């Protein structure tokens, strides 16, 4: 695709991304350009510097997004006079699973409920006078998640989110979030686990926990909302 050939669709998909989840939004936007045929299999993406300008992100963010999608099989780098970053031909197939692909309505149901439950849990946790044991639980599980291997990451990530619900002191909330998290994990298991997203998630986890431990409900809710938005962006990008 020659730059500018996509018309309005090209302009929409290559518009600036949100700053809070710049990496995840950049990955999602690049996936959209591939899935919608704005850049077709075998064709080159615009240069990194142009993508950085059009997305209003750093070249490092663009480079991380391209590297992650290359590792997932969607892009391939070629060197030489006619080198660049090209859309894979053929594109990778979806991972084999017995579960049917989620409908758009199912995806939004899972993500919408997650936002309501977990943003509320973070706000409520930050509003409580936590015991020393509860404070240690949150901080230690945040540290364990940050140090987790790729193989253990999703399990420890889930445990941290459940710990936040646990310190709210409402058992039924823990049950609701556990049920929702099970559905979320089924969806996450169908998309690549991106190392740059893990790094970003760990930074966000720390910001959430610090906001809770310092008793700042609105900051905790805002940090959690931004964190969940990043995961939702990736899920919509890969599964929509």
Q: Could you report the per-residue pLDDT of 2-61, keeping only the tens digit for each?
A: 444 455 556 666 788 877 899 999 999 999 888 867 888 999 999 999 999 999 999 999
Where is average pLDDT lowest: 82-91, 130-139, 226-235?
82-91
pLDDT value for 7: 52
pLDDT value for 172: 92
Q: Average per-residue pLDDT in the chain? A: 90
What is d(CA 212, CA 118) in angstroms, rounded to the nearest whole number?
A: 13
Tokens of 33: 């350009």
Q: Is 46 helix (H, G, I), strand (E, B) or coil?
A: coil
pLDDT value for 35: 81
| CATH class given for the domain over 104-239 | mainly alpha
Nearest to 157 by CA among 143, 174, 145, 172: 145
Tell me if 75 sits within 8 A of 48, measured CB to CB. no
Where is 85: in which H helix or E strand?
strand 84-87
Is 0.85 surpassed by the pTM of this model?
Answer: no
What is d(CA 205, CA 207) in angstroms, rounded to the nearest whole number?
A: 5
pLDDT value for 98: 60
Nearest to 181 by CA among 102, 111, 125, 101: 111
Tell me if 86 sits within 8 A of 44, measured CB to CB. yes
Where is average pLDDT lowest: 39-43, 90-94, 129-133, 156-160?
90-94
What is d(CA 47, CA 44) in angstroms, rounded to the nearest whole number?
A: 9
Nearest to 118 by CA among 200, 59, 188, 204: 204
What is d(CA 72, CA 111) in angstroms, rounded to the nearest whole number?
A: 23
Non-local CB neighbours of 136 within 8 Å, separated by 6+ positions: none
Tokens of 189: 């298991």
Between 198 and 152, the more confident residue is 198
What is d(CA 216, CA 222) in angstroms, rounded to the nearest whole number?
A: 10
What dotted CATH number matches 7-87?
1.10.10.10
User: Is 50 exceeded by the pLDDT of residue 178?
Assistant: yes
- What residues does each domain of the chain span? 7-87, 104-239
What is d(CA 49, CA 196) in angstroms, rounded to the nearest whole number?
A: 19
Count Cα neighbours of 135 within 13 Å in the Cβ-side half-sphere: 11
The residue behind tokens 């089924």 is 186
Tokens of 156: 């420890």
Q: Is 84 helix (H, G, I), strand (E, B) or coil?
A: strand
Tell me if 51 sits within 8 A of 45, measured CB to CB. yes
As to burial, measured by CB atoms within 10 angstroms (0-12 exposed, 13-18 middle, 19+ buried), residue 78 is exposed
Between 187 and 14, the more confident residue is 187
């Amino acid at each position: 695709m020659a730059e500018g050939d996509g018309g309005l669709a090209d302009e929409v998909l290559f518009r600036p991304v949100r700053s809070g989840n710049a990496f995840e939004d950049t990955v999602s936007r690049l996936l959209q350009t591939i899935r919608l045929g704005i850049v077709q299999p075998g064709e080159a993406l615009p240069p990194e510097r142009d993508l950085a300008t059009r997305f209003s992100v750093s070249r490092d963010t663009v480079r991380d997004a391209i590297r992650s999608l290359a590792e997932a099989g969607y892009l391939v780098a070629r060197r030489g006079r006619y080198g660049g970053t090209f859309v894979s031909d053929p594109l990778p197939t979806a991972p084999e699973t017995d579960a049917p692909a989620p409908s758009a309505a199912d995806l939004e149901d899972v993500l919408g409920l997650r936002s309501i439950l977990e943003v509320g849990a973070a706000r409520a946790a930050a509003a409580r006078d936590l015991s020393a044991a509860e404070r240690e639980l949150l901080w230690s599980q945040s540290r364990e998640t940050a140090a987790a291997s790729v193989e253990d990451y999703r399990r420890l990530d889930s445990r941290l989110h459940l710990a936040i619900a646990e310190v709210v002191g409402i058992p039924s909330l823990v049950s609701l979030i556990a049920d929702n998290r099970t559905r979320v994990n089924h969806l996450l298991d169908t998309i690549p686990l991106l190392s740059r997203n893990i790094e970003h998630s760990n930074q966000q986890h720390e910001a959430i926990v610090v906001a809770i431990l310092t008793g700042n409900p609105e900051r905790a809710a805002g940090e959690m909302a931004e964190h969940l938005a990043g995961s939702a962006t990736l899920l919509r990008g890969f599964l929509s």
